[in-house]
Amino acid sequence: MAIAVEKPEKADKVQPAAAAPAARKVSRRMASAAILVAWLVLFVVLRGRQTLTLAAADLTGLHHWLNDVNDTIGANRNSNPLFLYFFNEIRLAIDNLVTFVQSLISQPTGSRPVPQIGWLGVVGLTGYVSWAVGNWRVALLAVAGFTFFGLQGLWQESMDTLALTLSAVFVALLIGIPLGVWAGLSDRFNRIMTPFLDFMQTMPAFVYLAPLTLIFLIGGASAVITTVIYAAPPAIRITAHAIRSVPETTVEAADSLGTTRSQQLLKVLLPMSKRTVVMGVNQTIMAALAMVTIAALIDAPGLGKTVVQALQSLDVGTAFNAGLAIVVMAIVLDRVTTAAAGRAEAARRRSGRLLKWRRPLLVAGGVAVAVLVYLSHTFVWAAEFPGNGTTGSHIASVADTTTLWLQDHLSGLTNALRDAITNGLLNPFQTLLTDSPWWLVGAVLVALGAVLGGWRAGVTAAVCVGLLVGTGLWSDGMTTLASTAVATVLVMLLGAVFGVWMGRSLFVDRLVRPTLDAAQVMPPFVYLVPFLALFGATRFTAIVAAVVYAAPVAIKIIADGVRNVPESTVEAATSAGCNTWQIITKVQLPMARGALTLATNQGLIYVLSMVVVGGLVGAGALGYDVVAGFSQGELYGKGLAAGLAIVLLGVMFDRITQAAARRTRA
């Protein structure tokens, strides 16, 4: 536990980075190799010293202090003016919003035993809106998807989830779009915002659930705010990006016409970035749906509750059924918003005749929907979904049978795989990280950051390493880092294989993509039980769960990168007599280098966001600290510190990989 002051190794290892710019690429690789070799040598000499380990039940001063802060807030809740006049008002406003949306579609109000709009009205409304903002194909999908919820026997749960998601997305956009515009216009504000956004996206929700319920009470408001914290950043980031991407020349042209600043914003910047902003809305919806099971832990009604409750009795089938509803909802909302984003363009391409018909059709559709809504408000058969959800029990029993079969027939194979990767890759790497003195690992991280990403990245790494030591959880952080790194390597392997395959064939792309979507939005809680049966409560299970969640992103990005390699280049290589393997390794992958780095970056961040889930299945370390902090009052401070450590790891790797990406592109 002693903290050493010496830090001698750093200087001579940064040296090789300052090589001649002409041979920079080679020297960068060599410098990284030199750093790693030096690390290995020093590890052998210094193994087991100054490792800063902390036992599971031990706390540091910082952890105690954080506990005390939390207690003070709780104790002063009713007398503090900040609560009386600020937080309580926010809570009231959001609570009213949620209650209103719930009374419309999901919850009974007053003496009325059912919500104002029944299933028929909701289905009709969804189809109509999807058609109006998108096209008839997504409208059909939306109608089919929403009807499916009813057939699954999950109508009310789905509507509860939809009500919360819509409220959260509304609030997130209400805050996010103005902030995004501001961040798009002002570099300074953007720089201030970025760390906060990183924080909101990587801080595990388990850490702030308890304080949130203390501040905003148990109920709709807390559930919405939890979701907003995670879902607003994409809206802010993408809006800012959209504003920034408006061509300089357009803005200058408007300037020369003498427009004022507000005119410029409303008439030029916003309309021109509309398409990208809608993509931001799309990402916000996806992020909000990802929080469904987390919000269920503080009594948010809906599908998340069904998943969490089913898992208390390890009822995989029921959990899968509810998870499937979340997937369907995500796919419907994704396709509708994507269609909405592309609508303006599609409309321009379409013939004038259809456009002439559009307006009367919109009116007719509106009337039809109004009738449906009225029917569903008035008559029981249109208010409550008929039937008793037999499709749902079929899905559940099929899921049960399938998992049972997999568990019985694959466990030999999976155990061998687990042992091979754990012993061959994970254990040695983890030993290297946790048994080296902390300052050695810290120096290596800083040096690698500086070599790969430049001095700025090096400084960021140094700050993060310092703060990591400050959290008192260095050793746990290194254990988590080892698993994270192994998971990222696996993600990139999968990403390269499937990404290239999908990038080279549109057919494969169409076939695989829905599976990737499902893997991204299916709540991890659903597949944890079968994974536990296959791999046991181990770090490897956590790695597999993280790979399932993170690989789709990497695959999609790499597929995109490979597809963007100019046709002519590939043709030239083919005519030069290259075989397929050579084209992939010598042409397509090198030319998609930017996409590969981006995929690494996103893959790593997504893996890190699964650390807490990993803690639930045997990964221990930071993930377990967070989970335990959520469950036991005494460990709260430690859990918060572990959450901070995860954020720090995330920020460090994000900055290094981004800087490295900029350099490879340059």
Partner 1 sequence: MARHWRAGAAGLAVLGLTLTACGGAKVGDTSSAGSKGSGGKCGTFNLAVNPWVGYEADAAVVAYVAQHDLGCTVKKKDLKEEIAWQGFGTGEVDAVLENWGHDDLKKKYITGQKTAVEAGQTGNKGIIGWYVPPWLAKAHPDITDYKNLNKYASEFKTSESGGKGQLLDGDPSYVTNDAALVKNLKLDYKVVYAGSETALIQAFRTAEKNKQWVIGYFYEPQWFLSEVPLVKVNLPKYTTGCDADAAKVACDYPVYDLDKIVSAKFAKSGSPAYDLVKKFNWTNDEQNTVAKYIAVDKMSDEAAARKWVEANRDKVDAWLK
- Reduce the DSSP state of residue 232 to 3 states and report it: helix
Binders of partner 1 among residues 313 to 332 (CB under 8 A) are: 313-315, 318
Q: Specify the residue, 1 or 57, whose C-beta has the smaller distance to partner 1.
A: 57
Distance (Å, rounded) from C-alpha 414 to C-alpha 135?
A: 45
User: What is the closest distance, in whole angstroms, from the C-beta atom of residue 360 to partner 1 in the complex?
Assistant: 6
Q: Which residue has the tokens 């998992």?
A: 403
Q: Specify the residue, 103 or 276, whose C-beta has the smaller distance to partner 1.
A: 103
Q: Considering only residues 229, 399, 532, 587, which one is a binding residue for partner 1 as defined by CB under 8 A? A: 532
Q: Specify the residue, 114 or 467, whose C-beta has the smaller distance to partner 1.
A: 114
Nearest CA to 434 out of 661, 229, 620, 158 is that of 620
Q: Specify the residue, 311 or 659, whose C-beta has the smaller distance to partner 1.
A: 311
Binders of partner 1 among residues 539 to 558 (CB under 8 A) are: 539-540
Neighbours of 26 (CB within 10 A): 10
Q: Specify the residue, 220 or 453, whose C-beta has the smaller distance to partner 1.
A: 220
CA 44 to chain centre: 38
Q: Considering only residues 616, 640, 644, 661, which one is a binding residue for partner 1 as defined by CB under 8 A? A: 616
Distance (Å, rounded) from C-alpha 540 to C-alpha 547?
A: 10
Neighbours of 205 (CB within 10 A): 23
User: What is the closest distance, in whole angstroms, from the C-beta atom of residue 482 to partner 1 in the complex?
Assistant: 13
Distance (Å, rounded) from C-alpha 352 to C-alpha 211?
A: 57
Q: Which residues are within 8 A (CB) of 423 and not within 5 positions of it... i.e. 6 or more apart? A: none
Q: Specify the residue, 438 or 525, whose C-beta has the smaller distance to partner 1.
A: 525
Question: Which residue stretch of 24-32, 125-133, 481-489, 602-610 sits at the interface with partner 1 (rule: CB under 8 A)?
Answer: 125-133
- Reduce the DSSP state of residue 436 to 3 states and report it: coil
Say which DSSP state 257 is in: T
Distances (CA, A) of 231 to 280, 282, 455: 10, 10, 32
Question: Which residue stretch of 72-80, 94-102, 254-262, 571-579 sits at the interface with partner 1 (rule: CB under 8 A)?
Answer: 72-80
Q: Specify the residue, 279 or 307, whose C-beta has the smaller distance to partner 1.
A: 307
Q: Specify the residue, 131 or 606, whose C-beta has the smaller distance to partner 1.
A: 131
User: What is the closest distance, in whole angstroms, from the C-beta atom of residue 308 to partner 1 in the complex?
Assistant: 7
Specify whether the CB–CB gap between 146 and 126 falls below 8 A: yes
Q: Considering only residues 275, 343, 377, 394, which one is a binding residue for partner 1 as defined by CB under 8 A? A: 377
Q: Considering only residues 4, 41, 266, 364, which one is a binding residue for partner 1 as defined by CB under 8 A? A: 364
Question: Is residue 299 near partner 1 by the rule CB under 8 A?
Answer: yes
User: What is the closest distance, in whole angstroms, from the C-beta atom of residue 419 to partner 1 in the complex?
Assistant: 6
Question: Which residue stretch of 216-224, 263-271, 600-608, 649-657 sits at the interface with partner 1 (rule: CB under 8 A)?
Answer: 216-224
Specify whether the CB–CB gap between 160 and 302 falls below 8 A: yes
Ramachandran class of 302: left when φ > 0, alpha when ψ lies in -120 to 50, beta otherwise: left
Distance (Å, rounded) from C-alpha 44 to C-alpha 38?
A: 10
Ramachandran class of 389: left when φ > 0, alpha when ψ lies in -120 to 50, beta otherwise: left
Question: Is residue 56 near partner 1 by the rule CB under 8 A?
Answer: yes
Question: Which residue stretch of 17-25, 417-425, 466-474, 498-506 sits at the interface with partner 1 (rule: CB under 8 A)?
Answer: 417-425
Q: Considering only residues 367, 497, 572, 576, which one is a binding residue for partner 1 as defined by CB under 8 A? A: 367
User: What is the closest distance, in whole angstroms, from the C-beta atom of residue 574 to partner 1 in the complex?
Assistant: 45
Q: Specify the residue, 418 or 556, whose C-beta has the smaller distance to partner 1.
A: 418
Size of the site for partner 1 (CB under 8 A): 93
Question: Which residue stretch of 129-137, 491-499, 577-585, 657-665 sits at the interface with partner 1 (rule: CB under 8 A)?
Answer: 129-137
What value, to the nearest 5°, has the Cα angle with vertex 523 and ends 288 and 562? 80
Q: Specify the residue, 110 or 258, whose C-beta has the smaller distance to partner 1.
A: 110
Q: What is the per-residue DSSP string for 538-594?
A: SHHHHHHHHHHHHHHHHHHHHHHHHHTS-HHHHHHHHHTT--HHHIIIIIIHHHTHH
Question: Which residue stretch of 11-19, 277-285, 335-343, 630-638 sits at the interface with partner 1 (rule: CB under 8 A)?
Answer: 630-638
